[in-house]
Amino acid sequence: MNRAKSPRRFTRTFGPGLLWAGTAIGVSHLVQSTRAGADTGFSLLWVILIALALKYPFFEFGPRYAAATGESLIEGYHRLGRWAVWVYFLITLSTALIIQTTVGLFTASVFTYVLGVTWSIVTMGTLVMGGAGLLLWTGRFRALDSTMKGVLLLLAACTLVAATMALPRATASYWIPWPSANSDVVTFGFILALVGWMPSAFDIAVWNSLWTLAKNRASGVKVTVEEALLDFRIGYVGTGIIAIAFLTLGATVMYASDQSFSADGTTFSLQLVDLYASTLGAWSRPVILIAVVTTMFSTMLTVMDGFPRAISRTYHVLRVGRDMAFEEDKGKLYWFSLWALAGLTLVVFRFFVGSLTTMVDFATIISFITAPVLGYLNLRAVTADHVPVTFRPNRLLRVFSYLGLVLLGGTAIGFSLSLVWG
């Protein structure tokens, strides 16, 4: 049997794609997809599908590059020139706190509501991030890998059950091609925000390449390009299905009502669960609660690992060059970055506790604007001369990548100019 197709072998190499999915399925799905459905029915389904299609190549390049070369994308950037590493590093440093604060704020809000406590958002954030940090501290990559498999299985089951039960409520009026009746709530900025994290920010292509290498070390088996791509595609298709499921829940439950989501994180969580329970029936409350909690905890866990892992590897590459023996999660900078970001996140909580949706829109728009730069670096790295020809993306995928860069880049430039010139 071909070793790339051996079920036993694949179970040993399977995992980085799920970590990628765990990061992607979070604020973009639970907040943005649900809001899109609540405000427009299924009118923005096409936006989600186009975003998933256009951004696919740039995410796939992470595991493809790592499996083909045995390096992370950060080493790939270094081969292009130190300038490329610095560009990535500056983008990461400038967005890490914004993204982690957004994820952390909603995660803490969700746990506050689910546990039914009156603690401050800072207290709950300390407990949630502290718990995630201790899990990473005690188990490192193995704990992250094992936890995410169970969490995502539970998340997918609960979300799909709820969406399937809700779908029959949709009528023909929910499927208009453009939300003309509700056009006052659909702004260009919101569409960019929806695309910005749909399915996620381009940063996690780098994380996926790092997780692929970490999985190789943890399992003792070097993943093939075929296995890495299958692993990733399972996670990618799953994130798309879950995004549509949350859009369905928002559309079928809230679109026809006269309610709108609050900008406060805890109130948003309460509205989300209570509206589903009152409309779908009391049976849905535990299902939605589990889906919400698992969604956000999985994202919080992977974000808390991803940024420190990337920062540690980037600093090491800038300081000493390419070093395949380096393990990010065993270095002091990894742990310093993890706890420093957690501490800064708690400080920022105090200023945005009542502005969840504003914070989400801001973070996702920033990700949209920086996406073309990171996408270009990923494409350059995976098509470089040192990558074996057989493992480089084919002509069709390269053409589609350039199309995505033109569309994403053109829109980002146009939006940035509109902000400058009003």
Q: What is the pLDDT of residue 10?
A: 64
Q: What is the pLDDT of residues 29-87, one digit of tens each?
A: 877 888 888 888 888 898 899 999 999 999 999 999 999 999 999 999 999 999 999 99
Cβ–Cβ under 8 Å, residues 21 and 207:
no
Angle between helix 73-80 and helix 82-115 axes, rounded to 10 deg: 150
Q: What is the pLDDT of residue 360?
A: 74
Give residue 315's domain range: 3-421
Cβ–Cβ under 8 Å, residues 262 and 246:
no
Confidence of residue 279 (pLDDT cuts 50, 70, 90): low
What's the pTM value of the predicted model, to 2 decimals?
A: 0.86
pLDDT > 70: percent of the chain: 86
- Higher-pLDDT residue of 264 and 149 is 149
- Indicate the average pLDDT of the chain: 83
Q: How many domains does the chain have?
A: 1
| pLDDT higher than threshold 70 for residue 5 | no
Q: What is the pLDDT of residue 69?
A: 95
Which segment, 130-139, 190-199, 394-403, is predicted with the most confidence on average?
Answer: 394-403
Q: What is the pLDDT of residues 106-127, one digit of tens each?
A: 888 888 888 888 888 889 999 9
Q: What is the pLDDT of residues 186-231, one digit of tens each?
A: 567 778 878 888 888 888 999 999 999 988 888 888 889 999 999 9
Q: Give the three-class secondary structure for 355.
A: coil
CATH of the domain at 218: 1.20.1740.10
Q: What is the pLDDT of residues 326-376, one digit of tens each?
A: 778 778 899 999 999 999 998 888 777 666 667 777 787 888 888 999 999
Can you point out the beta strands (E) in 199-315?
A: none
Confidence of residue 183 (pLDDT cuts 50, 70, 90): very low
Q: What is the pLDDT of residue 53?
A: 93
- Nearest C-alpha neighbor of 109 from the set 413, 392, 387, 354: 354
What are the Cα distances from residue 117, in Å, to 101, 120, 145, 316? 21, 9, 30, 42
